[in-house]
Every structure is written in C-alpha cells, then in structure tokens.
Chains A and B, each alone.
Chain A
Amino acid sequence: MNTSRMGTAFRAWLDERLGWGTVLTFLRGKKVPQTRHTLWTYTGSAILMFFIIQVVTGIILAFYYRPTLKEANSSVARIMTEVPLGWAVRSVHFWSATFMISFVFIHLVSIWILKSYRRPREMTWMSGVLLLVCTMGFGFTGYLLPWDDLSLAATKVGTDIPRAIPVIGNFFTKLLRGGEDVSGDTLTRFFGIHICILPLALLAVLAVHVFLIQKLGMSLPLEAEVKKKQVRELPFWPNFIFREMILWLVLLGVLLSLAVFLPPGLGQAADLRAPAPEGIKPEWYFLFLFQTLKIFPAHVLFLSGETLAVLFILAGGLIFFFFPFLDTKPASRKGKILTGVAWLFIFYALALTIWSLLD
C-alpha cells in the first residue's frame, strides 16, 4: 500500500470515528466578506495565536515557578539565570501578554466603531467584553507573581480599590487578598486564579464566542448594509487562512525580536514590611483607570471621591457590556451620537494613559 492510499485510509478511519468531515465541509463552505474593513477581522485570530503562546510558555514557567513568599522571587530569578533559555520563555510570556491585550483592545474598539455588535450579534459582543475582562485579569494576577517591590506595591493599591464600593467592597478586597492585607495567601490565590480559574473561564467564554461567530457569520460594514450592495466574499479555506498565516508569521517575528532584545527585568524580592516605593503605576492597560481614580477630588458632597470614581468606572463597564442594548437601531442606520460617544471614550482612555505615563 503506498503512502497516499495509507493517508486516505487513515483519514477515512478518523472520519468514521470523529466525524470531522462535517467540520472540514463547513470550513470549505464558510465565506468571509472582503471589504476595506477586512483588516480588523484578522485581529481575532492574532489574539488566539497569542493566547496559545501564553498557554505554552505559561506551562513551561509553571514547571519552575514556586508560589510561596520565600521562593516566588528566587524561583523567577532561577528561571532567568539557571534554566536554559528561561529568560527567553519568560520574556515571550511577558511580550505575548502585552500583544494579546493590545489586540483585544483593538479588536473590541474596531467592532465598536464598525457597529458589528448590533442585532443579532449582541451576545458575541458581550462574550468579547468578558474575554477582555479575563485578559485583564490575567494581567493583574500575573503582575504579582514575580513578587518584587513594585508588583507587591501595585497589588496592594489594586486590591484596595474595591474597598471603595459600598456594602460589598470590604468583602471583595478580603476575598482577593485572602485576608486583611496582601500576604503569602494572596500570592497563592493569585497564582491559582492565574493558572486555573482564568484559563478555564476564558476557554469557556471563548468557546461561546467562536461558536457565535461561526453561527452568525461575520458582519458586513455599515456602507454595505446601507447601500444594500453585494460584497465580494472569499472562502475561509484556503484563501483567508493563507492571508492570516502571513500575519501570524510577521507577528511571531516581531514578538520574538522584542522578547530577545527587550526582556523584562526582575526587581528585588518584596519585603512585606518595607515602605511602598514611590511612583507606583500599574501596567499600561490599567493606566487610564488608575488616572481616573487620581483625578477625582477627595470628597464630592457626602461621598468620598474614591467611591465616586469606582462607581463611575463600574457604571462605565456595565454600559460597555450592555452597549448593544443601548444601540438598538437597525444595522443599516448610522447612530451618530453613539459613535461620537465611542470616539469620546477612546480619546479619553488614550489621553489619560498618556497623562499617567507623563505624570
């Protein structure tokens, strides 16, 4: 029996048991609209690529990392100095997280501006926002794991913020910290959330997100909806996949170059009794929220400024999550006011991020 016959027989054997022929038939029949906005559809698969890189590098790091007060910082130092190419794996993990969060932001913003969240894609949008929350959760919990001065101080500030929420705030802060203050329990808890709870949550939401995209298909741009014009479509396999592969290769090259030439450092092991260092700042993707908290005055009428700021951020988050239900216009109508609100928010987030960086 020659190789091609063996291959065909093996495929038939697998198909009989797994029924994957149906999936292949679906992929061959799937079409992707080709417009001047198609560029943004590539960001989704780029996020998936970065997530896979995160999983692989995260598993390698977890082989050596020890989430205890005494060993957390030294185990990261060991990864960077003793484990063969450990510094490179950690650097790829760090830069891949940065890229993943950047692309999640770009993906969501492009969908927001192009109004792809409108009926019937409300749940696709909401699952996307949940994926953003999971991704930012990864960033927040992962930041503490090296257990150095800055990560400890930033986590103290970050986990203290929920206290400002009336009624449930204190409980939530204790739940995050595993006690009144940041301690070894917080480190263990964050590690558990980072490697177990968040990946499971993300995979579950991702499954729903991908299913909805396959079920509903990709949305058409507003111009095509308004003018009811025919849009050119390409098969997902192989035409679209080949195009995506070009982007994956280039992004992989950029990621590895940054990881090799700009690896992240490691501060001194955190001392729980030491005073907080000056100029504590969170990671760049939290800067606009951090600056929002800072610009509120100490007291506004009978409320503390911090409480008001946290409530303002929570309300903003809820509006963002339920945005498709605020913009219920038919797909063919523009909705200029809500587009203006979206642009205003983007400028606000960018301006506050730059302000915080310069501060």
Chain B
Amino acid sequence: MLCSFLMVAFLIAAVSGLWAQASPPQSVPAPKASLSPNPAPPAQEVVPGPRTPKERMGVYVFMAWLWASIIVLVFILRAKVREADRLFEARYF
C-alpha cells in the first residue's frame, strides 16, 4: 500500500511539473515604458530545444542510442545480479 501510495505521490509531482511546463503563459499586462535611463531592447521569445534540423536529428539519434544502451546494460546488469546472488548463496563471498 505504501509502495503504491508513494508512487502515486511521485506521479502527481511529476504531472504537476509537466502541467507547469505545458500550461500557457500567464496573461501578462503590456509592459509599461521603462523609466530606467538605458531601456533594454524588446526581448525576443527564447525557444528552448534544438535550433536546426541537423541538431534536432542529432538529438533524436542520441536518444535512440541512449535507450538502446540502457536496455542492453540493464540486461547485462540483471545477469550480473543473478550471478552475484548465486555466488552469495553458494557462500563464495
């Protein structure tokens, strides 16, 4: 029960994080003319993420490689866990 409850709590935290990310920007009133002596130039919208198609493709390839590596490593580690457990049961260490 504790396990499932805490997982739900984590999921809510993650969803709320995503929500905050995905929510449209707050309606900000039109900025007043700045009274500072050197007003900053009007800010341009900064779009996060890869900027060129080449960079975007590079990121997708990296992600595919990353997950493929993770899957392979997890299989190897599972085998190592089984082997280590077997050696422990056999009182090897």
Contacts and interface: CB of A to CB of B under 8 A. Distances in A.
A260 interface: yes
A260 B59 contact: yes
Interface string A102-123: 1001100110011000000000
Contact of B25 (A80, A239, A267, A284): A267
A277 B28 contact: yes
A113 B63 contact: no
B73 interface: yes
Contact of B32 (A105, A274, A350): A274
Interface string A232-268: 0011001100110110011011001100101111111
Interface string A62-81: 00000000100100010011
A244 B88 CA distance: 17
B28 A284 contact: no
A87 B59 contact: no
A283 B80 CA distance: 40
A15 interface: no
Contacts of A278: 26-27
Given A113-B2, A238-B84, A269 B12 contact: no
A35 to B, nearest CB: 12
A110 B88 contact: no
A274 B31 contact: yes
Contact of B63 (A246, A256, A266, A346): A256
Chain A: interface residue count, which band?
Answer: 35 or more
Contacts of A91: 48
Contacts of B77: 242, 245-246, 249
Contact of A249 (B21, B50, B73): B73
Contacts of B6: 40, 106, 109-110
A264 B13 contact: no
A242 B9 contact: no
A98 interface: yes
B23 to A, nearest CB: 9
A223 to B, nearest CB: 12
Contacts of A273: 32, 34-36
Interface in A12-43: 28, 37, 39-40
A28 B88 CA distance: 12
Interface in B15-45: 16-22, 25-29, 31-32, 34-36, 40, 43-44
Given A81-B51, A150-B26, A242-B81, A346 B9 contact: yes
A356 to B, nearest CB: 9
Given A73-B43, A235-B93, A267-B25, A98 B17 contact: yes
A177 B59 CA distance: 40
Nearest to B13: A102
Interface residues of B, number: 50
A109 B78 CA distance: 29
Contacts of A102: 10, 13-14
Contacts of B78: 246
Contact of A262 (B21, B66, B70): B21
B73 to A, nearest CB: 6
A149 interface: yes
Interface in A132-187: 149-150
A253 B9 contact: no
Q: Which 8 A-B pairs have the closest CB atoms?
A: A263-B48, A268-B43, A284-B16, A266-B46, A239-B84, A102-B13, A253-B70, A242-B81
Interface of B: 2-3, 5-6, 9-10, 12-14, 16-22, 25-29, 31-32, 34-36, 40, 43-44, 46-51, 59, 63, 66-67, 70, 73-74, 77-78, 80-81, 84-85, 88, 93
18 contacts: A28-B93, A39-B3, A77-B44, A77-B46, A87-B48, A87-B50, A105-B9, A110-B6, A239-B81, A242-B77, A242-B80, A249-B77, A252-B70, A257-B63, A257-B67, A265-B25, A265-B47, A266-B46
